[in-house]
Amino acid sequence: MKSPRHFFWLIPIIIVLIAVTIPLLPAYNIKTINVETEFKGLAEEIAAESGLKIGSNIFLTLLGKGNVFAMRFTEAEQLLRSKYTQFGNIRVIAELPSSVLVEYTSKEPVFEIEYGDINLITDINGCVLESRSGHELGFVRITGVDISSFALGCIVGDNIERFAYASKIYTELEFYDKSNLTAFREYIDWIDLSNPSGIALMYDGRILVKLDSTDDIAYQTAAMCVSLSQHIGYTEKGTLDFTSGDNPVFSPE
């Protein structure tokens, strides 16, 4: 009679077989694809566009189209990023035993652009995040942008190279506010991009600022903030002009 120890060599093989077989059981087939989205009606579409199939094995799919160690479907993430540019970072995660979670970070709504009877809300680069029927406070209104059509997730406007000026101004205001503990961004009513050689913006409903688009936008934005905080009274009205010479000129009403 053979000693049981003669069969000890089978134990590692049995362990490997179990480790390989268990992940392939039907219990680990994808049953649900859950999408965390604030965009109504997009959940089913996003699940379909991910390229993941209900009934496919999670581990085999991760080996072929993802990272099994991070438990993320990287190929699905790339597909969704290329299609849904209105989203920020997209993560597609395997949740054992049989679920997939699609989650993303929202892009920050910054600008509002009038388009017919509706208003388009965009991120800082002009990517349309949503449309609204009415005007709401909290967004900088952009005027002077030609729009022939729009779609969610698409950059808006036919003269998008001009839109970069509004983005630059907002970015510089954000930097100035964080550096100096101010809140100039909150008082910008609108930015007008219709003039090919200049940019106009309204501050606090009382100061019209004229910027020179051929000059350093960062410098002009910072100089505007200094003038508004140190040289122009809180109740004064008028025009702050950067286009008439080397130094800005304030003309009160």
The pLDDT of residue 52 is 95
Average model confidence (pLDDT) for the chain? Answer: 85
32 - beta bridge partners?
99
Residue with the two structure tokens 């009205």? 237
User: Is residue 126 predicted with pLDDT exceeding 90?
Assistant: no
pTM assigned to the model: 0.65
Q: How confident is the model at residue 138 (pLDDT cuts 50, 70, 90)?
A: confident
User: Is residue 111 predicted with pLDDT exceeding 90?
Assistant: yes
pLDDT in tens, 88-102: 789 999 999 999 999
Tell me whether the omega of the peptide bond preceding residue 97 falls within 30 degrees of 0, making it cis.
yes
The pLDDT of residue 169 is 95
Domains and CATH numbers, the chain: 26-106 (3.10.20.310), 111-252 (3.40.50)
Distance CA 51, CA 92 (A): 11
Query: CB atoms < 10 A from the CB of 73, how many?
Result: 29
When mean pLDDT is compared over 13-22, 23-32, 206-215, the highest value belongs to 206-215
pLDDT in tens, 45-89: 899 999 999 999 998 999 999 998 899 999 999 999 888 877 778
Are the CB atoms for 170 and 185 separated by under 8 Å? yes
